[in-house]
Structure 1
Amino acid sequence: MSAYEEGSMDISEHQRTWNGFVKLVQWGIISCVALLVFMAIFLV
């Protein structure tokens, strides 16, 4: 077993996954806001 080296892990895949998650959340929030705006315009 090799010795532990702090900060030696490759986190590129983790960063790519996190960035995808953040992008998905942003699109979800934008979609919800757009839906509420359209409902306020057309249903009231």
Structure 2
Amino acid sequence: MADHKHGEMDIEVQQKTFDGFMKAVSWSAVIIICVLIFIALVNG
């Protein structure tokens, strides 16, 4: 079994995946807030 050395692994793919996930979560939150505001305004 190989010895693990901290900081040597290529994590570019994981970083791109995490960035995409965070972008999706951020946009989802913005859309949900906008929908809730719209619903509150329509129901007056």
Fold match by TM threshold 0.5: yes
Q: Which runs of 4+ in 1 moved over 2 A?
A: 1-6
Q: Quote the sequence identity (%).
A: 34
Number of the residue aligned with 1:33: 33
TM-score normalised to structure 1 length: 0.83
Q: How does 1:1-44 map to 2 (within 5 A)?
A: 3-44=3-44
Report how many aligned residue pairs link the two structures: 44
> Any stretches of 5+ residues in structure 2 without a counterpart?
none
> Any stretches of 5+ residues in structure 1 without a counterpart?
none
Letter in 2 for 1:22: M
